[in-house]
């Protein structure tokens, strides 16, 4: 399975990590209204990326004088961090997901980004080691942003490539 993906990857002339078509950034996001879960989600993001996540707030009404409500957390990976994380996903994580084709959000071909949601976080080895701490957490949204449309098409083709 892994050799088949690697072969396709190198046949598409991505032999050098810097040759990946115009990958601009990768965003990892969790949304939830429960503060305790948001702290657990931020721990997941830190374990996956080794970066401190930022929190997402929603402004409340004017009657509450500009109060904010915590609704999620996210991390944006750019440059070499995004390429390294993409390779980590392709080589280690995507082969562990059973129904990978259902994850890819199909957008018009002219789109410069696409998103997918991973419901089972235990496909990540870092998370599966701490099963009791992260049980019940779902819906990691991953958004891939490219500078041009062909990069999106190549990456979708690579992700949905049949595995043996």
Residue 116 gets the label, from left (phi > 0), alpha (psi -120 to 50) or beta, of: beta
Residue 98 lies in a domain: yes
Residue 16 lies in a domain: no
Residue 145 lies in a domain: yes
Sign of CA dihedral 149, 151, 152, 153: positive
Contact (CB, 8 A) for 116 and 103: yes
Contact (CB, 8 A) for 119 and 139: yes
Residue 132 lies in a domain: yes
Q: How many helices (H) and strands (E) does the chain have?
A: 6, 5
Residue 15 lies in a domain: no
Residue 14 lies in a domain: no
Q: What is the pTM of this model?
A: 0.77
Report residue 116 as tokens: 């997918």
Q: What is the mean pLDDT of each run of 10 residues along the chain (164 residues)?
A: 52 50 86 84 92 88 73 91 88 78 54 82 88 85 82 68 53
Residue 54 lies in a domain: yes
Q: Which domain holds residue 65?
A: 2-7+21-159
How many structural domains does the chain have?
A: 1
pLDDT attached to residue 100: 62
pLDDT attached to residue 27: 94
pLDDT attached to residue 15: 46
Supply the CATH number for residue 87's domain: 3.30.1440.10
pLDDT attached to residue 105: 54
Residue 52 lies in a domain: yes
């Amino acid at each position: 399975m892994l050799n088949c993906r690697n072969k396709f990857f190198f046949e598409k002339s991505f032999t050098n990590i810097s040759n990946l078509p115009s990958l601009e950034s990768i965003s990892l996001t969790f949304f939830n209204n429960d503060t305790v879960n948001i702290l657990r989600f931020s721990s997941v993001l830190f374990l996956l990326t080794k970066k401190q996540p930022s929190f997402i707030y929603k402004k409340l009404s004017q009657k509450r004088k500009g109060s904010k409500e915590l609704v999620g957390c996210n991390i944006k990976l750019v440059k070499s961090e995004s390429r390294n994380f993409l390779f980590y996903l392709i080589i280690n994580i995507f082969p562990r997901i059973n129904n990978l084709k259902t994850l890819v959000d199909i957008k018009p071909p002219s789109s410069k980004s696409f998103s997918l949601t991973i419901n089972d976080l235990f496909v990540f080895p870092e998370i599966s080691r701490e099963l009791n701490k992260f049980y019940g957490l779902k819906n990691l949204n991953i958004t891939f942003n490219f500078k041009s449309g062909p990069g999106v098409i190549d990456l979708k083709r690579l992700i949905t490539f049949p595995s043996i």
